[in-house]
């Protein structure tokens, strides 16, 4: 079993000693991928932080949430796996089916080359999707790092999203990520032009290392419809900076399950980041010598959040809002609009 949960004694100990007293009663994870069998073509696999998988179902998720956060009331915002070679319609149908808007909330993969305004409008109106998940790869540029945000979110899609007051889970493109001036301008323009859209910058703009975030948040100050999720961030200094600089009610806990359940940690080295994993992974350097005992990316993220909160002396109200209240208010606002 590749998933690092409290089923493993070493994780059970971490949970009891470091996390149990810290975590609030209710946990809403704003960033989770689910996919049924058949989304990936035969023989294709998804390398989830080292382990290769072909599906990650709601059943897997329910079991993992119980085993990662024992004794907690958990809920999640879920979306498919954004791969241009995947069956995005099948993945979207699966997410729609699993969305009860009570425990599981769905976002729709948005492929600007295969979707159209009419389908998107109908899907958002069905309330089985509360927003969209675009992705840089769906722009299908020869070099994905050249992708610009408007290519992921064309006007026809943003008009429908704005009209519905829906969520955009935005994984920003480009090598410089959060620090890219073009990204900063295009995000600010997007939020201003579509004020009813709720834009979530995933992974705080992929700022996995400190240098990428310091001094880079000014462009977003006072933007009322911009939110930030913490998925896969493991660096406490990044968290500390973000918690000090960003509006507390715009921060959303998220993990990137299933990847976040794999063993590993993201580390900063000389103003860059990499993942370190026990098994080789395209995005990591791996512990070939088998020197380390790992826990999940997810528990490393929780450790970083906890440390940043302690250093800043933030109170329990901050913790509860981060793990549940902020996300619940955001989802409630989107759901409430259609009534």
Give the residues lining the site for Zn ion (CB under 5 A). 256
Long-range contacts of 192-196 (CB under 8 A, 24+ apart): 192/223, 193/158, 194/158, 194/159, 194/161, 194/162, 194/225, 195/162, 195/224, 195/225, 196/162, 196/163, 196/164, 196/165, 196/225
Nearer to Zn ion, 257 or 309 (CB): 257
Buried b (16+ CB within 10 A) or exposed e, 10-19: ebeebbeeeb
To Zn ion, the closest distance from the beta carbon of 274 in angstroms equals: 18
Nearer to Zn ion, 111 or 256 (CB): 256
- Nearest to Zn ion by Cβ — which residue? 256
Nearer to Zn ion, 55 or 156 (CB): 55
Nearer to Zn ion, 109 or 217 (CB): 109
Any idea how long the chain is?
Answer: 339
Nearer to Zn ion, 232 or 331 (CB): 232
To Zn ion, the closest distance from the beta carbon of 256 in angstroms equals: 4
Nearer to Zn ion, 134 or 278 (CB): 134
Q: Is 174 left (phi over 0), alpha (psi -120 to 50) or beta?
A: left
To Zn ion, the closest distance from the beta carbon of 25 in angstroms equals: 26
Distance, in Å, from the CA atom of 123 to the CA atom of 115, rounded to the nearest integer, reads 11
To Zn ion, the closest distance from the beta carbon of 105 in angstroms equals: 15
To Zn ion, the closest distance from the beta carbon of 231 in angstroms equals: 6
To Zn ion, the closest distance from the beta carbon of 199 in angstroms equals: 15
To Zn ion, the closest distance from the beta carbon of 50 in angstroms equals: 16
Alpha helices, DSSP H only, in the chain? 9-14, 58-68, 88-98, 117-125, 149-152, 155-164, 181-193, 203-206, 236-245, 297-312, 316-320, 326-337
Nearer to Zn ion, 257 or 321 (CB): 257
In the 3-class helix/strand/coil scheme, how is 112-135 assigned residue by residue?
A: CCCCCHHHHHHHHHCCCCCEEECC
């Amino acid at each position: 079993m590749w998933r690092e949960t409290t089923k493993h004694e070493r994780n059970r100990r971490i949970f009891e000693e470091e996390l149990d007293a810290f975590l609030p009663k209710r946990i809403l994870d704003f960033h989770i991928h689910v996919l049924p069998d058949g989304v990936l073509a035969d023989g294709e696999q998804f390398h989830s932080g080292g382990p290769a998988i072909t599906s990650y179902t709601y059943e897997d998720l329910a079991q993992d949430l119980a085993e990662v956060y024992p004794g907690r009331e958990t809920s999640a915002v879920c979306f498919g796996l954004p791969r241009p070679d995947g069956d995005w319609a099948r993945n979207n149908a699966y997410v729609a089916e699993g969305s009860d808007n009570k425990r599981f909330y769905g976002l729709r993969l948005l492929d600007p080359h295969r979707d159209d305004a009419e389908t998107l409008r109908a899907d958002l109106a069905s309330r089985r999707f509360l927003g969209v998940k675009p992705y840089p790869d769906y722009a299908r540029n020869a070099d994905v790092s050249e992708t610009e945000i408007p290519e992921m979110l064309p006007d026809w899609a943003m008009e429908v999203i704005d009209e519905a007051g829906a969520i955009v889970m935005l994984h920003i493109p480009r090598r410089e990520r959060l620090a890219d001036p073009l990204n900063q301008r295009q995000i600010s323009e997007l939020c201003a032009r579509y004020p009813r859209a709720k834009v979530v910058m995933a992974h705080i703009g992929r700022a996995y290392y400190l240098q990428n975030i310091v001094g880079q948040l000014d462009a977003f100050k006072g933007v009322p419809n911009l939110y930030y999720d913490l998925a896969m961030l493991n660096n406490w200094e990044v968290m500390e900076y973000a918690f000090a600089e960003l509006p507390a009610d715009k921060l959303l806990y998220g993990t990137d399950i299933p990847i976040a359940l794999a063993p590993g940690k993201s580390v900063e080295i000389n103003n860059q980041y990499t993942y370190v994993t026990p098994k080789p992974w395209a995005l990591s350097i791996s512990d070939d010598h088998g020197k380390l005992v790992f826990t999940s990316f997810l528990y490393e993220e929780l450790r970083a959040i906890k440390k940043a909160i302690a250093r800043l002396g933030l109170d329990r109200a901050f913790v509860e809002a981060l793990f549940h209240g902020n996300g619940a208010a955001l989802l409630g606002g989107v759901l409430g609009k259609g009534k």
